[in-house]
Amino acid sequence: MDWIRQISVARRLAIAFSVQVALLLVTAGFGSLQMSRINANVLDLSTNWLASVEDLGAMDHASSSMRRATLRLGSAEGGQDETLAMADEARKAFAAAWKEYLPTVTTPEERGLAEQIEAQWQRYLIEHDRLQAKLAGKADPESIRREVNGASADIFKALSKAISEDIRLNSRGGAAASDEAQASYGRAKLVTWSLVAFAAALSIFVAIAMARSILQPLRDAVVAVKQVADGDLTLPLSQRHSTDELGTLQTAMQEMVANLRDIVHQVREASDSIALGANEIAAGNANLSQRTESQASSLQETTASMHQMTSTVASNSASAAEANRVAASAASTAESGGSAVSHVITTIGDIASSSRKIGEIISVIDAIAFQTNILALNAAVESARAGDHGRGFAVVAGEVRALAQRSATAAREIKGLIEDSTAKVEAGVGQAGQAGEVMASVLQQVRSVSGLIGDIATASSEQATGVRQVGQAVSHLDEMTQQNAALVEESAAAAESLKQQADLLAQVVRQFRLAGR
């Protein structure tokens, strides 16, 4: 039945109806032919054979009447006028019957009998007229009676015999016509019912073949649509190499399933990549938060040391007598402060490096969100092309696009905060550098205090001013470090939210089953 699938559905239906109409026309044509034969037989029976028998019967009756008139010539019964009237009436009746009978003569055998009848009738009329003329001439009645029972009787017997044979011939023809009509009726009935049975069987066969060729592809398409609706993209449609409308439908559905499978596979890979990147960002933010807290603790210690240094410088300014001891103590403290400031500078540099790394990671997240948004937009377009069959996937594509947009927004906000933090850290690095230079100057002045005891008051005042500036710078650096810690905590929270959304996206996409995965 593969050849049927190469024909369009409309042509299949047209062929099926054409076959039925053709069979109906054949049945009707044969029935009409047989009916015309039966009608011809019946018409032949009624207008030929039966009419001939009726006309021959009328001629036989007329000849019998003529014979009775002839017999009256040889007897004393009746008058001559009555006999003439009887003979004249018989002549007219025979002539009228002969006129009706003659057109019905068709066969050579019947034509021969008709010629015999006509010849014998004419002989009998001649004989009757001769006897009648002889009787009118006052001939001997006894001689007329002998002639009536002689030659006249022989002619009448021949005439009656010819008429009887012709009646039997027409009776046999009528019976044959009746038998032929019955036979035609039987043949018409048998062949008509045979054609009807053949037409019914062929129609049933054609209907079953057409129904199978149409319904089976539709069943396959329904099964495939249910599988796609259940999220199963592993089983392809059965391959039917047909060029009809149903084959086109199956090809389109195969392309739809293949495209949907590719889209789901791409979205699944993208969601896995997003989840992996979110996990790495969350881990990096947690590590960065720990380091930021450690830096804040170090800055608090540095602030305490700077307060202590301020107290020491004030004591040096108030007590010039103890300048040497205070200068030595200040030198030691200045060395500790220089080391602490160097450590602060190093720590702030690490913070700046970490901030730049966070900015790069956020840029990666932003790029991933942009690519995910593009994939979701493509998926929405493909689902719109699929129509009602892609409506469920359109919802998934919309959710993916919304998540990508939220991820991009969060990444941009984090990037802005990191850039602000980086700028502040770089400013802190500059201030820490200034503090280091001030500490170096303090150390140099303390080392030369023994030679500059006269200028100790001025030096102490300058030291107090520098220490206050360093304290303010360290306090400001501590405030920025606390802000950085808060930003890091927010970044960690955003990364955790991104991770949860990526996990949700992965769970939604995993509802689709792909072959080999």
> Span 280-288, mean pLDDT?
73
Q: Which two tokens stand for residue 234?
A: 């592993």
Q: Which amino acid is at 199?
A: A
Domains and CATH numbers, the chain: 4-224 (1.20.120.1730), 245-509 (1.10.287)
pTM for the model stands at 0.33
> Span 201-217, mean pLDDT?
77
Say if CB 73 and CB 148 are below 8 A apart. yes
pLDDT of residue 116: 92
Distances (CA, A) of 9 to 20, 138, 498: 17, 104, 54
pLDDT of residue 287: 75
Say if CB 259 and CB 382 are below 8 A apart. yes
pLDDT of residue 119: 92
Q: What pLDDT, in 10s, does the model give residues 104-124? A: 888 888 889 989 999 999 999
Say if CB 477 and CB 351 are below 8 A apart. no
Task: Tell me: pLDDT of 5 over 50.
Answer: yes
49-85 burial, b for 16+ CB within 10 Å, e for fewer?
A: bbbbbbbbebbbebbebbbebbbbbbeeeeeeeebee
Q: Which amino acid is at 104?
A: T
pLDDT of residue 95: 92
Q: 174: how many CB neighbours lie within 10 A of its CB? A: 19
Say if CB 193 and CB 32 are below 8 A apart. no
* Mean of all residue pLDDT scores within the chain: 76
pLDDT of residue 410: 83
Q: What pLDDT, in 10s, does the model give residues 43-95? A: 555 555 777 888 889 999 999 988 888 888 766 554 577 888 888 899 999 99
For residue 405, give the DSSP letter: H
Say if CB 505 and CB 277 are below 8 A apart. no
DSSP per-residue string spanning 98-160: HHHHGGG--SHHHHHHHHHHHHHHHHHHHHHHHHHHHHHTT--HHHHHHHHTTHHHHHHHHHH
Q: Which two tokens stand for residue 42?
A: 């019946």
Q: Which amino acid is at 166?
A: D
Task: Tell me: pLDDT of 450 over 70.
Answer: no
Task: Tell me: pLDDT of 358 over 90.
Answer: no
Distances (CA, A) of 376 to 25, 177, 266: 62, 90, 10
Q: Which amino acid is at 139?
A: A
Query: What contacts 376, CB < 8 A, 6 or more positions away?
Result: 267, 397, 398, 400, 401, 404
Give the residue with greater pLDDT, 288 vs 125: 125
Q: What pLDDT, in 10s, does the model give residues 423-437? A: 887 787 687 778 677
> Span 354-362, mean pLDDT?
76
For residue 237, give the DSSP letter: P
Q: What pLDDT, in 10s, does the model give residues 382-398? A: 878 887 777 776 777 78
Q: What is the dihedral of CA 395, 401, 404, 409, to 10 degrees?
A: -120
pLDDT of residue 78: 47
R_g of the chain computed on alpha carbons: 67
Nearest to 298 by CA among 456, 106, 481, 76: 481
DSSP per-residue string spanning 188-223: HHHHHHHHHHHHHHHHHHHHHHHHHHHHHHHHHHHH
Distances (CA, A) of 159 to 109, 119, 149, 162, 166: 16, 8, 15, 5, 11
Secondary element (H or E) of residue 444: helix 391-447
Q: How many CA atoms are closer than 13 Å to the CA of 371, on its beta-carbon side?
A: 13
> Span 148-163, mean pLDDT?
89
Give the residue with greater pLDDT, 446 vs 21: 21
> Span 166-191, mean pLDDT?
83
Plot region of 92 (φ>0 → left; ψ -120 to 50 → alpha; else → beta):
alpha
pLDDT of residue 263: 81
Long-range contacts of 285-294 (CB under 8 A, 24+ apart): 285/358, 285/488, 285/491, 285/492, 285/495, 286/492, 288/354, 288/358, 288/488, 288/491, 289/485, 289/488, 289/489, 289/492, 291/350, 291/351, 291/354, 292/351, 292/481, 292/484, 292/485, 292/488, 293/485
Query: What contacts 7, CB < 8 A, 6 or more positions away?
Result: 15, 244
pLDDT of residue 159: 92
pLDDT of residue 407: 79
Say if CB 272 and CB 249 are below 8 A apart. no
Residue 294 pLDDT level (bands cut at 50, 70, 90): confident
Say if CB 134 and CB 85 are below 8 A apart. no
CA–CA separation, 155 and 161 (whole Å): 10
Q: What pLDDT, in 10s, does the model give residues 222-236? A: 777 787 787 776 766
Average the pLDDT over each of 316-320, 341-345, 411-415 and give the range with the smallest value. 316-320
